[in-house]
Amino acid sequence: MNMQANNGNLQRLDQSHHLHPFTDFRDYAQHGGRIFSRAEHIYIYDSNGHKMLDGMSGLWCCNLGYSQQSIVDAVTEQMQQLPYYNNFFQCSNQPAIELAKALVDVTEDRFNHVFFTNSGSEANDTNLRLVSRYYQLQGRPEKKHIISRKNAYHGSTIAAASLGGMSGMHEQTNGLDYIHHIEQPHWFEVGPDEDPDAFGLRVARQLEDKIDELGESNVAAFIAEPVQGAGGVIIPPDSYWPEVQRICDERDILLIADEVICGFGRTGQWFGSQTYGIKPDLMTFAKAVTNGYQPLGGVMVSDKITDVLLNHGGEFSHGLTYSGHPAATAAGLATLKILRESNIIANAADNVAPHFQARLKELEAHPIVGQVRGRGMFAAVELVSDKTSREKLAPESAGAVFCRNTANNLGLMVRQTGNAMIMAPPLICNTGEIDALVDMLSQALDATAKHYGI
Ligand code: PMP
């Protein structure tokens, strides 16, 4: 079968049998999608040979791009040596042990333990299990309410979807009733008429109000992404996190930082918590821990929690068949080796990210750009039809969808969230590659403005 015929067949099979995540099934069955067949460096190629600069690092995970041979080798060797064994029933394996130690080494001193999962969603479920065990062992089972934020994304299991604050997901989820949501620190969307720092303080203080409303003795934890990613790369005002940290310090509740996107260099330091000066008690990670090459997630558990869990003893009845999978943890170990032995995170923070942010900021002069926001290798470009009124370009985010599709056709993989174009390019991009990214986005903006007669 020739390539074209084979491709057509694949498209048909995909449309007929494959239910895709976060996809309108009926629409996909009718129209299909793009099948990716290979990738190299920061470029992805679809089965029609269309080359795209990956401005999203896959799904925020391939921070080191697609040509990291040492990760491939590590997984291959591990598959030959010990393709699988579990970590239940007093068993362990070498890469899981070594990755646990490496993660302890790259996180702050109070983190000395790791619980492995396969994904960020499961890691957030694990957080809830750990938190309830922590309070139950102390004889405080009523301390079970969790506070999260609107428009947060914490994953797709029932618990993770309940933790998340996306209304569309809640409508489709019979969620957990002990999870509550406060406002997100999204100045452009929620408080544009306020001074950004005053807005940041106001929404941070909703945490204090919610703790008072529920009763401090009933509240277990607050969970948040240092920068909300899937919600639209929402960069909190500078006043926000110090105030949240103050509240968590003064109140007897745990702070969970969901670092699934921010972790491993995205915001300019190893973890978003460092960028924002946050001291979480639990830290969720996934995605870039293996550079996306293997499914792996987990929770960094601080001494405050393990002091209780280890001292009391008793089985923690929670675990996954693939918790600490040898091939996945081997990929994690190889990824951390690259990050620790190279200057990729520092170079991205010091050289590439400032160029990326400065070039994107130039787009604020564009007639349909209402705001450019970003931090490190992470950014959003908000589209409007009128800069002063911030009127949306078109109903139902159609303007941003048009812009995204145009950028994709031009050879740039970017994502659309609401009315914003979202970017998280690999940390290994150089400034020339960033220029190519911004130039393609700029062309897509021109075409979008023209389409809407602006
Ligand atoms: N938390 C955050 C902040 C995420 O962005 C994601 C995934 N986008 C998750 C959790 C869920 O991770 P996974 O898709 O691996 O379950």
The dihedral built from the CA positions of residue 433, 437, 442 and 447, taken in this order, carries a sign that is positive
Give the pLDDT confidence of 125-153 residue by residue, as tens digits: 999 999 999 999 999 999 999 999 999 99
Q: What is the ipTM of this complex?
A: 0.99
Q: Is the pLDDT of residue 3 over 70?
A: no
Q: Are 183 and 203 in contact (CB under 8 A)?
A: yes
Query: What is the per-residue pLDDT for 154?
Result: 98
288 and 335 together in one domain = yes
154 lines ligand 1 (CB under 6 A): yes
296 and 323 together in one domain = yes
Give the pLDDT confidence of 206-231 residue by residue, as tens digits: 999 999 999 999 999 999 999 999 99
Indicate the helix (H) or strand (E) that contains 53: strand 51-54
Ligand 1 centroid–CA 376 distance in Å is 19
Q: Are 284 and 127 in contact (CB under 8 A)?
A: yes
Asked if residue 362 is part of any domain, the answer here is: yes
> Could you list the residue range(s) of the whole structural domain that residue 441 is in?
34-67+343-451
40 and 107 together in one domain = no
Query: Residues of 73-86 as b/e, b for ≥16 C-beta within 10 angstroms?
Result: ebbeebeeeeeeeb
In sequence order, what are the residues at sequence separation of 6 or more whose Cβ sits closer than 8 angstroms to the Cβ of residue 80? none
Q: Give the mean pLDDT of 1-11.
A: 72
Query: What is the per-residue pLDDT for 20?
Result: 98
Residue 367 — pLDDT band, cuts 50, 70, 90? Answer: very high
Give the pLDDT confidence of 17-43 residue by residue, as tens digits: 999 999 999 999 999 999 999 999 999
Per-position DSSP letters for 220-282, written without gaps between them? EEEEE-SSBSTTT-BPPPTTHHHHHHHHHHHTT-EEEEE-TTTTTTTTSSSSHHHHTT---SE
Ligand 1 centroid–CA 128 distance in Å is 15
Asked if residue 206 is part of any domain, the answer here is: yes
Question: Please, what is the end-to-end C-alpha distance for the chain in angstroms?
Answer: 47
Q: What is the Cα–Cα distance from 388 to 205, expressed in whole angstroms?
A: 29
405 and 286 together in one domain = no
Between strands 415-417 and 420-423, the pairing is antiparallel
Ligand 1 centroid–CA 301 distance in Å is 18
Q: Is the pLDDT of residue 101 over 70?
A: yes
Last residue of a domain, one of 293, 323, 341: 341
403 and 322 together in one domain = no
Ligand 1 centroid–CA 223 distance in Å is 13
Last residue of a domain, one of 341, 370, 395: 341
Ligand 1 centroid–CA 119 distance in Å is 7
153 lines ligand 1 (CB under 6 A): yes
Give the pLDDT confidence of 158-210 residue by residue, as tens digits: 999 999 999 999 999 999 999 999 999 999 999 889 999 999 999 999 999 99
Ligand 1 centroid–CA 120 distance in Å is 5
378 lines ligand 1 (CB under 6 A): no
Looking from the CA of residue 295, the nearest atom of ligand 1 is: 15
Q: Is the pLDDT of residue 1 over 50?
A: no
SS (H, E, C) 75-116: HHHHHHHCCCCCCCCCCCCHHHHHHHHHHHHHCCCCEEEEEE
Asked if residue 308 is part of any domain, the answer here is: yes
Q: Are 155 and 119 in contact (CB under 8 A)?
A: yes
Mean pLDDT of the chain: 97
At position 287, the amino acid (one-letter code) is K
Q: Is the pLDDT of residue 305 over 70?
A: yes
Give the pLDDT confidence of 381-425 residue by residue, as tens digits: 999 999 989 998 999 899 999 999 999 999 999 999 999 999 999
Q: Is the pLDDT of residue 94 over 60?
A: yes
Q: Give the mean pLDDT of 413-440.
A: 98
Strand order in the sheet with 51-54: 36-40, 43-46, 51-54, 412-413
Ligand 1 centroid–CA 259 distance in Å is 9
Q: Give the mean pLDDT of 75-81.
A: 98
Query: Using CB atoms within 10 A of its CB, is residue 341 exposed (0-12), middle (13-18) or buried (19+)?
Result: exposed
249 and 182 together in one domain = yes
Q: What is the Cα–Cα distance from 71 to 74, expressed in whole angstroms?
A: 5
257 lines ligand 1 (CB under 6 A): no
DSSP 3-state of 149: strand
Q: Could you count the other beta carbons within 10 Å of the beta carbon of residue 290? A: 28
Asked if residue 198 is part of any domain, the answer here is: yes
97 and 224 together in one domain = yes
Question: What percent of the chain clears pLDDT 90, i.e. is strictly above it?
Answer: 95
331 and 446 together in one domain = no
264 and 357 together in one domain = no
Q: Is the pLDDT of residue 4 over 60?
A: no
Ligand 1 pocket test, pick from 287, 296, 322 with the greatest ligand atom count within 8 Å of Cβ, gives 287
264 lines ligand 1 (CB under 6 A): no
Residue 2 — pLDDT band, cuts 50, 70, 90? Answer: low
Please state the domain count of the chain.
2
Looking from the CA of residue 60, the nearest atom of ligand 1 is: 8
In sequence order, what are the residues at sequence separation of 6 or more whose Cβ sits closer than 8 angstroms to the Cβ of residue 343? none
Ligand 1 centroid–CA 61 distance in Å is 10
Name the closest-CA residue to atom 7, ligand 1.
155
47 and 75 together in one domain = no
261 lines ligand 1 (CB under 6 A): yes
**What CATH number is given to the structural domain containing 443?**
3.90.1150.10
362 and 302 together in one domain = no
Last residue of a domain, one of 341, 370, 391: 341
DSSP 3-state of 66: coil
119 lines ligand 1 (CB under 6 A): yes
- Model confidence, pTM: 0.97
252 and 105 together in one domain = yes
297 lines ligand 1 (CB under 6 A): yes
Closest alpha carbon to 310 in 83, 115, 154, 134: 134
